[in-house]
Amino acid sequence: MRFVAPAIFTASLFYGQIVAASPREDAEFITQSIGVTFEGGTLLESIASTYADFLTEELGRHSVRVTDSARFEKLLPVEALEPWRMRWQEIFTKRLVDNYTPDDLARMVNGAQTLYDEPEGDHSFASDAAFYFFSASVGFHIGSQTTVIYELKSSAPTLLNTPFMADILETDGVFSFPNPIWRRDLIAQIRRGP
């Protein structure tokens, strides 16, 4: 979907007609653009941090202490985090459609496409780029992240329902166990499942 707006623009130039994208298509383009332009990994890092905090609490209930939380976050597989990134995209797109007019969304698309252009004088793209940056990235990006983090905390699977944790718990220097047998038994229990 991130190629929808550029394809429509190219087609309209080629055929000499103006073809407008739907508000939903514009919102999807803006969402993809925000994810690429401003995210820089921070959304996935934020989700990983929240998920690691949740799992740290779960591990504590099994008498396991996390000794290197930064490393723990990096060990979480992208496959476990990616559904939450997709959920953020759904929430963000819906917020855009619900809170902006079709004209506002079209301005944001233009702003996203021209954000790094060097405007000279009173170039109208400069105001669209500013509108895109402040309305989309600052306004709803943060709120959408907060919603996703709340949903993750309330619906993340428990430790025994996260098979990837068995491999992570085998990593040395990240966790502290009461003893080696405790570690082996917990890993075996996770591999067996609930």
Q: 1 in helix, strand or coil?
A: coil
pLDDT per position as a tens digit, 133-185: 787 766 666 677 777 778 877 888 888 899 999 999 999 999 999 999 999 99
Q: Which residues of 75-103 are buried (b: 16+ CB within 10 A; e: fewer)?
A: bbeeebbeebeebbbebbbebbbeebeee
Per-residue confidence at 194, pLDDT binned at 50, 70, 90? confident
Low-confidence winner among 9-18, 119-128, 160-169, 179-188 (lowest mean pLDDT): 9-18
Per-residue confidence at 20, pLDDT binned at 50, 70, 90? low
Q: Is the pLDDT reported for residue 40 higher than 60? A: no
Low-confidence winner among 43-47, 115-119, 183-187, 189-193 (lowest mean pLDDT): 115-119
Half-sphere exposure of 180 (CA within 13 A, CB side): 1
| Mean of pLDDT values over 42-66 | 89
Q: 53 in helix, strand or coil?
A: helix
| pTM of this prediction exceeds 0.85 | no
Q: CA 95, CA 158: separation in Å to the nearest integer?
A: 30
Measured CA distances, 194 to 53, 159, 165, 180 (Å): 21, 9, 13, 22
Q: What is the pLDDT of residue 38?
A: 56
- Separation of first and last alpha carbons in the chain: 38
Angle ∠(140,80,58) on CA atoms, nearest 5: 100
Q: 176 in helix, strand or coil?
A: strand
Q: Is the pLDDT reported for residue 39 higher than 70? A: no
Q: Name 65's Cβ contacts closer than 8 Å, sequence gap at least 6.
A: 59, 175, 176
Per-residue confidence at 128, pLDDT binned at 50, 70, 90? confident
Answer with the residue of higher pLDDT: 156 or 14. Answer: 156
